[in-house]
Chain A
Amino acid sequence: MTRPRVTFWRLFIVASLALGAYSIFVRFHEGIGGATNLSDGTPWGLWVGLDILTGVALAAGGFMITAVVYVFGLERYRPIVRPALLTAFLGYLFFVIGLLVELGRPWNIWHAIIYWNPNSALFEVAWCVMLYTIVLALEVSNLIFERFGWVRLSRVFHAVVLFLVIAGVMLSTLHQSSLGTLFVIAPGKMHALWYSPALPLIFYVSCMCAGLAMVMVEAFLSQRFLKHPVRVDLMARLARVLMIGLMLLTLLRFSDLWLRSALPLAFQPTEEALAFWVEVALFQVIPIVVLWPERRRASPRRLFVGAFSAVAGLVTHRMNVATTSFVSSSPTDYFPTWMEFSVSIALVVAGVVVFWGFAKWTPLFAEGEHPPHAAHRAEHVTRARPGPPTAISGCGRARRGARRLPAPRRWPGGRSTAPGTRC
């Protein structure tokens, strides 16, 4: 990376964070209306569509990759577990920050804990998001443990990680789909191209597609900006899964429209139809065309374009659901102000900066760098060494660790969790 480019990006980061901070100040000083174009007819806008619905959906890569590695034991995906988890955690972290800006009375955000309304889809989302953010924080915490060499905490982490992963998948399944359930209460207000009783399913399938795509985009951006080489073979495998997911989504989306006889609406000269086709182009047509033949999936550029298009498609879908679909029933039109954009951009930039910090200061890319069987062998060597120092020293803590060792450990931990390194 040449020096001027670094300066440009630094300038960009500082400028966007400053603008975002200014907009947040205006929002709290003059009320939400002072910073946004929201109105009673379109009460949810860019901040809900982008910061909340999209932020949560793009974090879906975290629960999928962890499940694939920890539950299904597909070790080949191990190298992308940590980046995917970190992306997910930062997605939720900045989603919560965005929520504090977006809520009218953010000082009451904790009320969901004490005032219950189990009939509300948003109540269910609130609880799942709350718990899942904690789960993600715990899952990411091991990066910190390893960074500072806190072996005991790291060991605790490895003991409970499976439960965290399963809890994460469960909570994600519930709230990713419930974000779609939110809109099932508004039939007739929403344009028929987006309203559907099947929205929970559409949200769930689309978040999985976009979550995978986001993992790919993040890997390619890590190569570009963090000089961490991308595993094109892994990306090609993910792309195949992404393709299958997207085709399933296309089938789901269009059969749903067809069953509700809403498909003709897509061929009328309306803004909604235009928004719909932009969404279909970005979310379904471009990724599938770009990634279709298997041999093309060896090209990093194609992989990136396909994944990036799918991410952009998800953004369009969520924006359409939260905003475009309500405009026709609203007496007012809606287009976000520059301040709304600046807050969303600042949140994304802040997330990228924190990601960069983790990449720089923690063993983010350390896990699974070597093929897993090599790591296994290394561990066997450690274990087979006659008279391990831990046993001789008689350190209780280490012995406990040593006693646990003979159990077959399918998932070798990070470097510093190697048994007997400390006591």
Chain B
Amino acid sequence: MSKGMLIDITACTGCRACVNACRTKNRLDAPPGARLSETDFTVLEHRDRLAVRRMCYHCNDPACASACPVAAMVRTPEGPVAYDEHRCMGCRYCMVACPHGVPAFEWHSRMPRVRKCAFCPDHVAEGRPPPCATACPTEATLFGDRDALIKAATARIDARPERYYPGIWGRDVAGGTSVMFLSPVPFDRLGLRTDLGPDPLGHATGRILALVPGTAATVVTVLGGTYWLYRRRAAVAAEQALAAARDGADAAAREGREGGR
């Protein structure tokens, strides 16, 4: 069963308890920054006088995982998108691919890693809420089964329609995410992507990559066939030339004989 989190922005007071819990859990000692970075796996961004939690949203079919050439980014069945630094070659294609700008890179390290919220897999695999959800005093960050959270979110919207923008961000953004949002205002005003459509981003490249075997076969066939045709034409031409030369020689010999007679 896939786990998820529901972040209710109407309930968030901006107390940063989640941020501090994350910093403690992941031993992030650098001074906290305003944006996601190699030492900030979750931050509160202020938009429209609202505190918007930023973190890895743990897509159901993540662009980063589809992009990674060595499968160092993998979505686990429980929901967390895991990163394996021992596989990673540091190409940073995951950072290019992520539509939410989440993965951060250790730019000043000699052995750099890609850093992001891991959705505390040690907690999530056991069904326990991650520290950021436990720390939240106002139930602005809820942890649970993803399906149950969607039901709870719908119930919240139905119960107080005047309070909520009618929609759950993340239910089907680019294939859906594990971390979903409820908001009082349209989601694009919070800086959340609303232009992505329901298809996972990896499907667009996947459709093109599906053409690879056919393209390879076509190129080889066309070139091989062309080569064979040209060879054949040249061989025929050579034979004809040879035959013509032989005829010519015969004729000349005959003429010579007749001339001598």
Contacts and interface: CB of A to CB of B under 8 A. Distances in A.
Given A104-B91, A106-B90, A115-B87, A124 B105 contact: no
A102 to B, nearest CB: 8
Contact of A31 (B36, B109, B226, B231): B109
Nearest to B213: A174
B69 A187 contact: no
Interface string A149-172: 000000000000010011001100
Chain A interface size, as a band, is 35 or more
B71 A109 contact: no
Nearest to A170: B219
Contact of A108 (B89, B97, B202): B89
Interface in B57-108: 63, 66-72, 85-93, 95-97, 99, 101, 103-108
A122 B67 CA distance: 7
A200 B208 contact: yes
B67 A120 contact: yes
A126 interface: yes
Interface string A19-50: 00000000011111110001111011000000
Contact of A170 (B37, B68, B110, B220): B220
A181 B67 CA distance: 11
A126 B90 contact: no
A174 B70 contact: no
Given A173-B215, A187-B201, A119 B66 contact: yes
Nearest to B227: A71
Given A44-B96, A174-B212, A103 B219 contact: no
Contacts of B97: 185-186
B1 interface: no
A70 B88 CA distance: 40
A124 B96 contact: no
A108 B86 CA distance: 8
Contacts of A357: none
Given A40-B105, A117-B68, A105 B112 contact: yes
The 10 closest A-B pairs by CB, nearest first: A104-B90, A33-B107, A105-B90, A123-B69, A122-B69, A108-B89, A43-B95, A43-B92, A115-B70, A117-B71
Given A38-B107, A197-B208, 10 more contacts: A31-B107, A71-B223, A103-B90, A104-B92, A108-B90, A184-B204, A184-B205, A185-B97, A187-B204, A331-B35
Interface of B: 35-38, 63, 66-72, 85-93, 95-97, 99, 101, 103-112, 193, 195-196, 201-202, 204-206, 208-209, 212, 215-216, 219-220, 223-224, 226-227, 230-231, 234-235, 238
Interface of A: 28-34, 38-41, 43-44, 67, 70-73, 103-106, 108-109, 111-112, 115-126, 162, 165-166, 169-170, 173-174, 177-178, 181-189, 197, 200, 326, 329-331, 408, 410
